[in-house]
């Protein structure tokens, strides 16, 4: 029997088939508007994804990148909680469901899945795409306004919130985090890897800790972030394969792009955070590797690992941005 394709590959194939007939000009126009909303201030009284063309353009432009960013965050969470597998999942503001695909890529198997979003066209397309993923065929796609009046249909082991906080007012952001923390054992929040995105993640992190959660990733501790506000920001990078349509829509020639993202994974369950986290791309020089680390003593440290460190030097040469340190 042929093994099923990994979720990432299945998602790319499904999107390519679904979007094969989408006129590139129409897609490009919709993407231009979506980029403006993604990078700027978005009104919260109407959904960003208004119709089928918007949703198709979003799927081509954002869904693969969202999948890779959320998957990277979930893999870091899984490393910190190796004995835990979520038995249920709610995705708040899930749109076309990229985070649900990322969960199935991290923890294979069936579980109750609920996707909440206020865009009916996004939910419809997400439901359509999900038929290609056996773990999502029974998912519940529900329309809901994401804000102060949000109520979750049931408690969930895992709640994900990806690229949603930017679309909300401060009051709605606070309400969403409080709703998630009251309903979940574990909460994962992913935002754009910009100073503003990091600030929203940091705000949510503080609120989750105040609600009794501990940080599982990326931080090696649940104390205050040692990064001075306004001087730098914590973010990571995920490599995203571009489809031919993706390259047409975005006008790029490379077969890949790097998605910058910020995130926090917090839990009420036992967790073992990384001893330290590589928070910048390692600098490999002749005979040495420079690692910028966030460490458990609430300090940012640059460590130089040289050949005389033996196996540690080999590990440092293999380390990538976002990895725990030392490598397992």
Indicate if 67 and 109 belong to the same structural domain: yes
Regarding whether 281 and 261 lie in a shared domain, the answer is: no
For the segment 20-46, what is each residue's pLDDT rounded down to a tens digit?
Answer: 666 666 666 666 766 665 544 554 455
CATH number of domain containing 239? 3.40.50.150
Q: Give the Å distances, CA to CA, from 118 to 115, 128, 145, 250.
A: 10, 17, 5, 26
Q: Is position 56 within any domain?
A: yes
Inside any domain, residue 312:
yes
The answer as to whether 136 is a domain residue is yes
Same domain, 217 and 304: no
CA-closest candidate to residue 188, choices 266, 72, 71 = 266
In a domain, 324, yes or no: no
Q: What is the rounded CA–CA span in Å between residue 13 and residue 119? A: 24
Give the residue numbers spanning the domain of 126.
Answer: 7-267
In whole angstroms, what is the distance from residue 16 CA to residue 11 CA?
A: 9
Interacting residues of 190 by C-beta distance below 8 A, sequence separation 6+: 66, 69, 70, 73, 99, 160, 161, 162, 163, 201, 261, 262, 263
> What is the count of structural domains for the chain?
2
Q: Which residue has the higher pLDDT, 233 or 148?
A: 233
> Does residue 103 fall inside a structural domain?
yes
User: Are residue 289 and residue 257 in the same domain, yes or no?
Assistant: no
Residue 326 lies in a domain: no
Clarify whether residues 259 and 289 are in a common domain: no
The reply to whether 158 and 292 lie within a common domain is: no
Residues 230 and 210 placed together within one structural domain of the fold: yes
Coil, strand or helix at 16 = helix
For residue 174, tell me if it sits in a domain. yes
Q: Is residue 310 domain-shared with residue 234, that is, in the same domain?
A: no
Question: Lowest-confidence range among 41-50, 97-106, 235-244, 282-291?
Answer: 41-50
- Do 95 and 230 sit in the same domain of this protein? yes
DSSP 5: P
- Give yes or no: residues 178 and 304 share one domain: no
Mean pLDDT lowest among 160-164, 198-202, 256-260? 256-260
**Assigned domain for 157 exists:** yes
Q: Are residues 177 and 305 in the same domain?
A: no
Residue 189's alpha-carbon distances to 15, 52, 161, 200, 314, in angstroms, are 24, 27, 5, 10, 33
> Using one digit for the tens of pLDDT, what is the confidence trace for 280-303?
999 999 999 999 999 998 899 999
Q: Are 260 and 125 within one domain? A: yes
């Amino acid at each position: 029997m042929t093994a099923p394709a990994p979720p990432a590959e299945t998602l790319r194939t499904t999107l390519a088939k679904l979007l094969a007939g989408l006129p590139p000009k129409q897609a490009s126009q919709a993407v231009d508007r979506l980029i403006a909303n993604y990078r700027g201030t978005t009104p919260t009284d109407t959904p960003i994804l208004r119709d089928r063309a918007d949703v198709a353009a979003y799927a081509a432009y954002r869904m693969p990148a969202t999948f890779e960013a959320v998957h990277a965050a979930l893999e870091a969470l899984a490393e910190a909680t190796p004995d835990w597998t979520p038995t249920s999942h709610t995705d708040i503001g899930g749109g076309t469901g990229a985070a649900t695909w990322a969960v199935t890529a991290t923890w294979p198997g069936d579980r109750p899945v609920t996707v909440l979003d206020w865009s009916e066209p996004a939910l419809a397309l997400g439901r359509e795409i999900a038929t290609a993923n056996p773990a999502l065929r029974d998912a519940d796609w529900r329309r809901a306004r994401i804000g102060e009046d949000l109520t979750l249909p049931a408690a969930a082991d895992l709640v994900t919130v990806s690229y949603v906080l930017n679309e909300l007012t401060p009051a709605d952001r606070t309400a969403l985090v409080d709703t998630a923390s009251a309903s979940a054992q574990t909460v994962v929040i992913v935002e754009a890897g910009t100073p503003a995105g990091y600030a929203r993640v940091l705000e949510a992190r503080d609120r989750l800790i105040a609600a009794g959660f501990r940080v599982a990733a990326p931080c090696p501790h649940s104390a205050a972030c040692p990064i001075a506000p306004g001087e730098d920001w914590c973010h990571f990078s995920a490599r995203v394969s571009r489809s031919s349509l993706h390259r047409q829509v975005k006008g790029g020639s490379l077969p890949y792009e790097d998605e910058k993202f910020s995130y926090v994974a917090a839990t009420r369950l036992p967790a073992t955070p990384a001893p330290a986290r590589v928070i910048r791309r390692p600098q490999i020089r002749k005979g040495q590797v420079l690692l910028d680390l966030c460490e458990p003593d609430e300090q940012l440290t640059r460590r130089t690992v040289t050949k005389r460190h033996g196996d540690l030097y080999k590990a440092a040469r293999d380390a990538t941005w976002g990895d725990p340190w030392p490598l397992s």
